[in-house]
C-alpha cells in the first residue's frame, strides 16, 4: 500500500511516500517567510504529486494522505482547532476537502507530536511500550502521551499535547499561549534569543558575537568551551526540561519517556542530565521510568503519519 505524508513544521515541511510502511522517497520544503497555510497548499499538492510520480506511483495508487500539524487538531473530524503563532489561518481551512479536490486522496490529520510518538512506537525507541510520553525540544516544546496503547486525546482534543505549556516557573515569563512560566517560554529555541538578551553579562559572552541569534547547538558548544553565560543558561534550561519531564511523568504514569526534537541533535548534552533528574526527582515507587532519545529523529512524525491508514 502506498501512502503520502506531510509533516508541517515551524520552519519547513517534510514530505514522504511510504510503501507498505517503509519510506521510499522524501523531500523537504523550506517555509521561511510563509504567511499562513492556505497560500502553501498548491505547492504542497504539487510537490506531493511529483514525489509520487518520481517513484512511478500515480496518486490513484495511493491510499491516502497523512498530515501532521503543529497545533491542536481534532483528528476525528480532521480539523485544526488552534495554533500558537504560525499557520493561524489553518483552523478555517477544510484540509480534507483540499486533499480530495487537489490530490483525490482521503486525509487523516494528526498533531505532529502525537504523530512522532506513533512513529517511535511503530518503528523506533518506543517499540513494545504501551505507556509512553514524548517530549520534543525544538523551536517550541511539544508533548504527547499514550496510555494503555491509546493516544490520550481528551474532551477537547488537547490532552497530552500541551507538555510545552506546563507551568514550571509560577512567577515566570509570559508565553505566547497566554500562560505564565510555561516550559517553552523558559527554555525553547524561540525563547532563547529573548532569554540571552536579558541575561546579566550576555554582552561579554561569545554567543553575543555570533552572526545570528544563538540556538541550543550554539549554546552547548559555547558552554563546552567554558563560556560562563552559556553554562548558566544551559544549566537553567536543563533544569527546566528536567522539571517538565517530571511533570509529564507525574501526569501520565508512563514506562518510558522519549526525547525528540531539534535540540536532541545535541543529545549528549541533554539526555544524561534529564535521565539523572528523572531518576532523582520523579516519584515512581514502582521503579524507574526509562528516558530515551527518539531513534527516528526528524522522520518520527512521518513514520507515525504512515500508521494512520491501517
Contact flags string 266-305 toward its own copies, x per CB under 8 A = --------------xxxxxxx-------------------
Which span (28-36, 41-49, 148-156, 222-230) binds its own copies, by CB under 8 A?
Answer: 148-156
Q: Does 310 bind its own copies (CB under 8 A)?
A: no
Phi, then psi, of 249 in degrees rounded to 5:
-65, -45
Cβ-based nearer residue to its own copies, 51 or 249:
249
Beta-bridge partners for 22: 19
For 260, phi and psi rounded to 5 degrees?
-140, -170
Using CB under 8 A, which of 9, 119, 242, 261 touches its own copies?
A: 242
Main-chain phi, psi angles of 23, to 5 degrees: -70, 135
Closest CB to its own copies among residues 121, 157: 157
Helix (H, G, I), strand (E, B) or coil at 64: strand
The four Cα atoms 97, 80, 74, 134 give a dihedral, to 10 degrees, of: 130
Q: Which of 77, 156, 228, 276 binds its own copies (CB under 8 A)?
A: 156
Q: Choose which of 89, 131, 290, 295 interacts with its own copies (CB under 8 A).
A: 131
Could you please report the per-residue DSSP string of 19-83?
Answer: ETTEEEEEEEEE-TT---SGGGHHHHHHHHHHHHHHTT--GGGEEEEEEEESSEEETTTTEEEE-
Contact pattern for its own copies over residues 17 through 46, marking x by CB under 8 A: ------------------------------
Q: Is 70 in the site for its own copies (CB under 8 A)?
A: no
Strand 150-151 and strand 256-260: the pairing is: unpaired
Q: Are strands 2-8 and 62-69 parallel, antiparallel or unpaired?
A: parallel
Partner residues linked to 72 by β-bridges: 82
Q: 222 vs 282, which CB is nearer to its own copies? A: 282
Residue 217 touches its own copies, criterion: CB under 8 A? no
Q: For 269, what's the count of Cα atoms within 13 Å in the CB-facing half-sphere?
A: 23
Closest CA to 136 of 225, 227, 246, 241: 241
Q: Which is nearer to its own copies, 47 or 243 (CB)?
A: 243
Residue 16 to residues 63, 87, 296, Cα–Cα distance (Å): 14, 21, 14
130 close to 154: Cβ distance less than 8 angstroms: no
Task: Using CB under 8 A, pick the residue from 10, 167, 262, 294 that binds its own copies.
Answer: 167
Binding mask 175-194 for its own copies (x = CB under 8 A): --xxxxx----x--------
- Nearest distance, CB of residue 285 and its own copies, angstroms: 4
Nearer to its own copies, 110 or 298 (CB): 110
- Which three three-digit cell numbers place residue 5? 505524508
Query: Between residues 238 and 306, which has the closer beta carbon with respect to its own copies?
Result: 238
Provide the binding-site residues for its own copies, judged by CB under 8 A: 72, 81-82, 84, 130-131, 147-148, 152-160, 162, 165-171, 177-181, 186, 239-240, 242-244, 246-247, 250-255, 280-286
Amino acid at each position: 500500500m502506498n501512502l503520502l505524508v506531510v509533516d508541517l513544521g515551524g520552519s519547513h515541511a517534510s514530505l514522504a511516500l511510504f510503501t507498505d510502511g517503509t519510506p521510499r522517497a522524501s523531500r523537504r520544503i523550506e517555509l521561511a517567510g510563509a504567511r499562513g497555510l492556505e497560500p502553501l497548499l498548491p505547492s504542497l499538492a504539487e510537490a506531493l504529486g511529483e514525489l509520487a510520480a518520481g517513484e512511478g506511483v500515480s496518486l490513484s495508487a495511493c491510499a491516502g494522505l497523512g498530515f501532521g500539524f503543529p497545533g491542536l487538531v481534532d483528528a476525528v473530524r480532521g480539523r485544526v482547532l488552534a495554533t500558537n503563532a504560525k499557520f493561524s489561518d489553518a483552523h478555517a481551512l477544510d484540509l480534507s476537502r483540499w486533499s480530495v479536490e487537489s490530490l483525490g486522496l482521503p486525509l487523516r490529520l494528526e498533531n505532529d507530536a502525537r504523530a512522532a510518538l506513533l512513529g517511535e512506537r511503530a518503528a523506533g525507541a518506543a517499540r513494545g511500550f504501551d505507556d509512553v510520553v514524548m517530549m520534543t525540544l525544538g523551536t517550541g516544546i511539544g508533548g504527547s502521551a499514550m496510555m494503555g496503547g491509546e493516544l490520550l486525546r481528551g474532551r477537547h482534543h488537547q490532552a497530552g499535547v500541551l507538555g510545552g505549556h506546563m507551568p514550571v516557573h509560577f512567577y515566570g515569563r509570559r508565553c505566547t499561549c497566554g500562560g505564565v512560566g510555561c516550559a517553552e517560554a523558559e527554555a525553547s529555541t524561540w525563547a532563547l534569543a529573548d532569554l540571552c538578551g536579558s541575561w546579566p553579562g550576555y554582552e561579554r559572552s561569545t554567543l553575543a558575537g555570533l552572526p545570528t541569534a544563538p540556538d541550543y547547538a550554539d549554546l552547548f558548544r559555547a558552554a563546552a568551551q567554558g563560556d560562563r553565560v552559556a553554562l548558566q543558561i544551559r544549566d537553567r534550561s536543563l533544569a527546566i526540561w528536567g522539571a517538565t519531564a517530571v511533570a509529564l511523568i507525574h501526569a501520565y504514569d508512563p514506562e518510558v519517556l522519549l526525547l525528540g526534537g531539534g535540540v536532541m541533535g545535541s543529545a549528549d548534552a541533554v539526555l544524561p542530565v534529564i535521565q539523572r533528574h528523572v531518576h532523582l526527582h520523579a516519584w515512581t515507587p514502582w521503579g524507574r521510568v526509562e528516558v530515551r532519545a527518539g531513534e527516528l529523529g526528524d522522520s518520527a512524525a512521518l513514520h507515525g503519519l504512515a500508521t494512520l491508514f491501517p
